[in-house]
Amino acid sequence: MLPLHDALVKHLAQTSPHPLALDIVRAEGCVLYDRSGRSYLDLVAGLAVNNVGHRHPRVVQAIKDQCDLYLHVIPYGEFVQEPQVRFAEKLNAQLPPTLDRVYFVNSGTEAIEAAVKLAKRVTGRTRIIGCRKSYHGSTHGSLSLTDNEAKKYRNRPLLPDTLHITFNDPKDLALITEEAACVVVEPVQGDAGVRVPDAAWMKALRARCDETGALLVFDEVQTGFGRTGRLFAFQHTGVVPDILVLGKALGGGMPMGAFVSSATRMELLTHDPVLGHITTFGGHPIPCVAGLAALEAMLTEDMVANAVHMGALFKELLVHPRIVEVRGEGLMLAVDLGDADLVQRVVLGCLAEGVLGFWFLSCPTAFRIAPPLVITEEQVRHACAVILRMLDRG
């Protein structure tokens, strides 16, 4: 057999010419360990996936227990499977009454695709509206909604009748008309460099969708499950979507997505045609038990409150002449340096010092801070000290 790094390059398709290629053999809480035994403080959490920390004991035990029972038995929706039912039940208990039906899929981008299909079915319309500087995934429908031409131009033509409005700009709300099936919005824009909208704009967006009959879809793939200091980011403003899209942290570290809407809307997927949306592996029992265990751990172990406190501590400590701004809510933060080259030097310098950070696709002048929500004060202080030291080097 080839050495692992050589085998990586030879046998696995790559997403860039220069992967980080850390050889991680173990992870626990907020810490990753490579094959040499070196540790890395994780400020990325698998890109907002491991909100309850790596290998949370409740999640690991739930997976082990389910492995002793069954794995995949039938495509989604045909059998009564307790992991699906109990997880959906727990999710519904956290959501408003108008979001009372869950459909489990395999990823965030698949959930976006399904949400758009549902919106077209409900409204009978074809136009879909996204926001400028948005990111919703890499499949064709999600990419059509994403506003990053560098990611799109090689894949055209994408979906027709797609429009983009400016995020957090009241003037552009007039572009939402009776032709729109839906407006898909991140309640906090992630890949744009963590942009938090005004509450007034969110309420005006809701009102405009109500006025025109367009469905409001919130993409909480990245913001969901405590990341912003509330269980769901829409709770900051009280603006409730017609369709909620989930992913990333949903599965407690396992691959999973979901879209959630009302029983009346979801029932349309059952007829004319039957099987209006189908998935083989959606609602797989392992991600379902892992996600349920993660949600229960989050609710009982004060992780959401910890996200608020630790996010505030990051903002308090990250003060430096080279820092233009620290944006965001909870533990969904962007440290903007105003200089893309400096971002690369800081991120790679931190990695050399055992602190894992990451950049944004659509905001190269900033790097992200999105650690597991179980990060401690000691770990935050250590991370900030390393970041500030890298900034001193310039």
Residues of the chain with pLDDT below 50 are none
Phi-psi map region of 39: left, alpha, beta (phi>0 left; psi -120 to 50 alpha): beta
**What is the structure's pLDDT at 7?**
75
**What confidence score (pLDDT) does residue 148 get?**
86
Question: What pLDDT is attached to residue 274?
Answer: 94
Find, among 212, 209, 206, 218, the residue nearest to 115 by Cα.
Answer: 218
- Taking the CA atoms of the chain, what radius of gyration do you get in angstroms? 21
User: What pLDDT, on the 0 to 100 scale, is given for residue 14?
Assistant: 83
Query: How far apart are alpha carbons 161 and 158 in whole angstroms?
Result: 10
Of 283, 280, 246, the C-alpha closest to 261 is 246
| Contact yes or no for 310/321 (Cβ under 8 A) | no
Report helix, strand or coil for 121. Answer: helix
Do residues 311 and 327 lie in contact, with contact meaning Cβ atoms separated by under 8 Å? no
Structure tokens at 94: 């956290």
For 46-60, letters b (16+ CB in 10 Å) and e give bebbbbbbbebebbe
- Angle (CA) 71-73-74 rounded to 5° is 140
3 state SS of 131: strand
pLDDT in tens, 233-268: 999 999 999 999 999 999 999 999 999 999 999 999
For the stretch 147-161, pLDDT in tens is: 988 888 899 999 999
Q: How far is CA 233 from CA 164, 230, 264, 296, 367, in A?
A: 22, 6, 24, 18, 21
- Cα(116)–Cα(114) distance, rounded to whole angstroms? 5
Contact indicator for 29, 372 with CB cutoff of 8 Å: yes
pLDDT digits (tens, 9 = 90+) for 347-386: 999 999 999 999 998 999 999 999 999 999 999 999 999 9
Whether the CA torsion 353, 355, 358, 359 is positive or negative: it is negative
Cα dihedral across residues 216, 262, 136, 200: positive or negative: positive
pLDDT at 4: 81
Name the amino acid, one letter, at 172. Answer: D
DSSP state of 97: T
Positive or negative CA dihedral for 287, 293, 296, 302? Answer: negative
The domains of the chain, with CATH numbers, are 4-55+302-393 (3.90.1150.10), 58-300 (3.40.640.10)
> E strands, 201-331, where?
215-219, 243-246, 257-261, 325-329
Give me 89's structure tokens: 């039940």
Cis peptide before 321 (omega within 30 of 0): no
Residue 104 phi, psi (nearest 5): -85, 135
pLDDT at residue 382, rounded to an integer: 98
Give pLDDT, residue 20. 84
What DSSP designation does 43 have? S
The predicted structure's pLDDT at residue 21: 82
Distance CA 304, CA 317 (A): 20
Question: Considering the entire predicted model, what is its pTM?
Answer: 0.96
